[in-house]
Amino acid sequence: MDMFILASTKNNVEEEEEEEKEKVSRRKAVTLNDELKRGHIYGTTILKSNYITSNEFRLKFLRCEFFDITKACIRYCKNLNLVYELFGDVALLRPLQINDLSKREIQHLKVGQSQVLTVRDKMGRRMFVGTNQFDYSKQITIQEFSRVTVYLAFGIMEDEETSAKEGAVHVNFLALNSKIMTISWDRQFKDRNEFYQKLIESTSARYTAIHVNMPDTKLYHFLKAIILSMMPSAYRAITRIHTGSTLECNYSMCSFGIPTHNMCITSAGKTKNKAFLQTLRARNAIDEYRKQRCRILNVYYVTQEMEKNFSMEQLQLLKDSNIPTICPGTDCPDMNCIILGDRRMYKRSANIEFRYFLQLKRQQEDAKERPRSLDIDFLDEIIDEAYNLKGYKFVAYDTKYCWYATINASRCDRGNHNENHRIKLRKKISQLMRDERKRTLKAPSTRPPPVAAAAAAANPIKRNITYDYYGDSGSNSLSSFGIDPKRFKPDCPDCLSSCLEYNNVQVRDI
């Protein structure tokens, strides 16, 4: 009996201990959740921000986690905590702006060691490029470095819908020297790793490719193993490490659809920042537009739902101030955008397809009995077909603000604002067709026109080509292998005869 009582008492004590442990664990979980939600609670209850509660802001985290609600909520809370820790209340009321950085941070930003490119890869993803070519600890502090990186990652990379849908690309060039290696194992190196860990866990941009470029030496091979071991498994699967010179790494990245000709680093390893300075100028113009619109409407942030449902009073206020209802420009157009007025984008894939489309329309019109000139009806037909059927969008480069101003090609909008866009677009396309015609007449290309190419494909021409592999005629045997005998010097008969004998020997050996 006593044994039974002792056993039951022991079981009761164990059950009570387990209950106490569960209560303690629940309390810790509640405390952790409150600590995780401190940025959200402060922004929604005290600041009453409509920015962090907007649909477009929360939708970015859902897309990043493939609509897993639990993971998206955790990432959303960590994002708010990080930006609130670095920038304060202003980061919970509106998107980050370049003026939120200090003069010292802006000066470091303009150096271009970390850049967001104005071009996209073949999949339409934006690219974040970082170069580690000097010691950050001697230039700026970890706090300043973290603020600059968060502005680039959260303020620019995440400020569009395409990056949330298609993902983003991170490219890093490692160029460590002896000074950096000697100080890289201090406290700041550990703090930087902790910051990168927070950045990975809180960003709403879904990075789908990571490219790390480094020299092909034993030291960097050892560093390669360290980098891969420190990465999370999800990021390790999308990481590609390229070794060799800068030129060799660029060639290697070309196979992954990275436009290396627009990369911010030269073949000699020097950083280019001219294009990035224009990007910062465009971002400054976008921030100024948002400030003016919010000041007129007396709000901190204008959501997309507000843009679609402006009241008559708000529209009248914007009209009186000569401010558009939506942002008139962007710093990085989408892949289906036709860029007009920028010679640097002449070889852009969308521009090449559009020029080919214009050439085909011109040839189809010339094939008619009464071809039309470049009148309004013909230009409107081209615009409607390109916009409605092809899905193209039109932007024009503005040299004043260094951004790409949107040209509205639709006819359904009301007012004279869209009509002015139509007139501007007609002039641009008419000038483009005339310039392309002059270029074709001045320097005729060997490529057949579209109509001729289609006819040649329908009726191929059969050519009887004979190859004299063992013939003794030197000119015929050379020409059959694609060698022009005229390129040999006429005053060197010994060289010509030796070349002929060498080719005949090689052919007979085959």
Each residue of 435-455: pLDDT tens digit?
Answer: 888 877 776 555 555 555 555
Q: Say yes or no: 368 and 403 in one domain.
A: yes
Top-confidence residue, 212 or 135 = 212
Give pLDDT tens digits for 352-367. 999 999 989 888 888 8
pLDDT of residue 372: 84
Average pLDDT on 64-89 reads 93
Q: Say yes or no: 178 and 273 in one domain.
A: yes
Q: Say yes or no: 156 and 203 in one domain.
A: yes
Q: Say yes or no: 443 and 493 in one domain.
A: no
Top-confidence residue, 142 or 96 = 96
Does position 324 have pLDDT exceeding 80, yes or no?
yes
pLDDT of residue 442: 74
pLDDT of residue 6: 39
Report helix angle 187-202 to 142-150, nearest 10.
20
Q: Say yes or no: 206 and 238 in one domain.
A: yes
Q: Say yes or no: 132 and 243 in one domain.
A: yes
Here the CATH number for the domain that contains residue 142 is 3.40.525.10
Give pLDDT tens digits for 44-75. 999 999 999 999 999 999 999 999 999 999 99
Tell me, yes or no, whether 320 lies in a domain.
Answer: no
Average pLDDT on 7-15 reads 52
Looking at every residue in the chain, the average pLDDT score rounds to 79
Residues 6+ apart with CB under 8 A from 176: 132, 184, 223
Angle at CA 45, nearest 5°, toward 205 and 50? 50
Tell me, yes or no, whether 357 lies in a domain.
Answer: yes
Q: What are phi and psi of 263, to 5 degrees?
A: -70, 150
Does position 414 have pLDDT exceeding 60, yes or no?
no
pLDDT of residue 14: 59
Does position 2 have pLDDT exceeding 80, yes or no?
no
Give the Cα separation of 32 and 171 in Å (integer). 34
Average pLDDT on 384-398 reads 91
pLDDT of residue 46: 93
pLDDT of residue 256: 92
Lowest-confidence region among 9-13, 278-282, 385-389:
9-13
Give the Cα separation of 105 and 139 in Å (integer). 10
Does position 231 have pLDDT exceeding 80, yes or no?
yes
Top-confidence residue, 450 or 507 = 450
Confidence of residue 86 (pLDDT cuts 50, 70, 90): very high
Tell me, yes or no, whether 41 lies in a domain.
Answer: no
Does position 394 have pLDDT exceeding 50, yes or no?
yes
SS (H, E, C) 60-116: HHHHHCCCCHHHHHHHHHHHHHHHHHHHCCHHHHCCCCHHHCCHHHHHHHHHCCEEE
Tell me, yes or no, whether 385 lies in a domain.
Answer: yes
Q: Say yes or no: 263 and 139 in one domain.
A: yes
Give the Cα separation of 100 and 89 in Å (integer). 11
Does position 292 have pLDDT exceeding 90, yes or no?
yes
Q: How far is CA 472 from CA 22, 95, 277, 509, in A?
A: 96, 78, 65, 15
Lowest-confidence region among 5-19, 32-46, 122-136, 482-496:
482-496
Q: What percent of the chain has pLDDT over 70?
A: 74
Tokens 């009209």, located at residue: 319
Q: Say yes or no: 432 and 492 in one domain.
A: no
Does position 39 have pLDDT exceeding 80, yes or no?
yes
**Number of structural domains, the chain?**
3
Tell me, yes or no, whether 466 lies in a domain.
Answer: no
Q: Say yes or no: 456 and 479 in one domain.
A: no
Q: Say yes or no: 494 and 429 in one domain.
A: no
Confidence of residue 139 (pLDDT cuts 50, 70, 90): low
| Edge-to-edge strand ranges of the sheet holding 114-120 | 114-120, 126-132, 168-174, 207-214, 239-243
CB atoms within 10 A of CB 480: 17
Give pLDDT tens digits for 246-261. 889 989 999 999 988 8
Does position 499 have pLDDT exceeding 80, yes or no?
no
Confidence of residue 87 (pLDDT cuts 50, 70, 90): very high
Q: Say yes or no: 181 and 105 in one domain.
A: yes
Tell me, yes or no, whether 241 lies in a domain.
Answer: yes
Tell me, yes or no, whether 325 lies in a domain.
Answer: no
pLDDT of residue 32: 52
Whether this prediction's pTM lies above 0.95 is answered by no
Average pLDDT on 279-301 reads 94
Does position 265 have pLDDT exceeding 90, yes or no?
no
pLDDT of residue 157: 87
Does position 4 have pLDDT exceeding 50, yes or no?
no
pLDDT of residue 373: 82
Amino acid at 75: R
Confidence of residue 346 (pLDDT cuts 50, 70, 90): confident
Q: Say yes or no: 486 and 406 in one domain.
A: no
Does position 303 have pLDDT exceeding 60, yes or no?
yes
Average pLDDT on 445-472 reads 48
- Domain holding 353, by residue range, is 333-461
pLDDT of residue 352: 92
Decide: 402 and 275 in contact? Cβ < 8 Å. no
Tell me, yes or no, whether 488 lies in a domain.
Answer: yes
